[in-house]
Amino acid sequence: MKEVSTMKPEIKSTSFGSIKVNKEEYEHDIIITLDGEIKKRKKKLSKAISGSSHIISKDEAKFVYEDGAGDLIIGSGQ
């Protein structure tokens, strides 16, 4: 039987303009890496191509991809 892993850190809640991960609330877009590190999302890659940070570009997806990742989860806001 395949073991189901729990993502660490854990997303506790979201609301318009913020996301709570574990006990920390962020009022900006974030990226959670495979090792659980939380980084501020750099929107310039997508903004330069589409003119908006509300769309993820292929270049940004390639930038955030890590070897070993099975999935890329993108929150689309509230």
Per-domain residue ranges of the chain:
11-64
pLDDT score for 76: 67
Which run of H or of E encompasses 74?
Answer: none
Q: Whole-angstrom Cα distance, residue 19 to residue 6?
A: 18
Residue given tokens 């990226």 in the structure block: 31
pLDDT score for 65: 84
Residue given tokens 């929150």 in the structure block: 75
What does pLDDT average to in each consecutive run of 10 residues of the chain (78 residues)?
A: 64 90 92 88 78 78 83 74
SS3 of 49, please?
A: helix
pLDDT score for 23: 92
SS3 of 42, please?
A: coil
pLDDT score for 12: 92
CB proximity list for 42: less than 8 A, separation 6 or greater: 63
